Amino acid sequence: MAIKKICSTFVLSWAGKCHRVVDRYVQPIEDGLDQDLEPRDICVSIGMCESPGHPGWQVPGLHRAPAAESLVDASGP
């Protein structure tokens, strides 16, 4: 996957975090784009953006991923 090459440009301590984010979010983002959803709807749907009252998390076919903070906290600073 071409986007993973970007992760290798980060310092080692951030490269692993980058790979985890890519692994978790690329497929839901691609699915949303395939459905012609708005970027904001996709962002809310995967839990990367907050939008009070926004129905993004209910978008059919997209599964809400855990918050990005859990990916960062899982491996420390």
| Tens-place pLDDT, residues 5-62 | 888 898 888 888 888 888 888 888 889 889 998 888 888 888 888 776 655 445 555 5
Which of 47, 45, 39 shows the shortest CA–CA distance to 61?
A: 45
Which of 35, 40, 34, 29 shows the shortest CA–CA distance to 3?
A: 29
The whole-number pLDDT of residue 73 equals 45
Cα dihedral 71/51/28/38 (nearest 10)? -150
d(C-alpha 51, C-alpha 42), whole Å: 12
Which of 60, 66, 64 shows the shortest CA–CA distance to 35?
A: 60
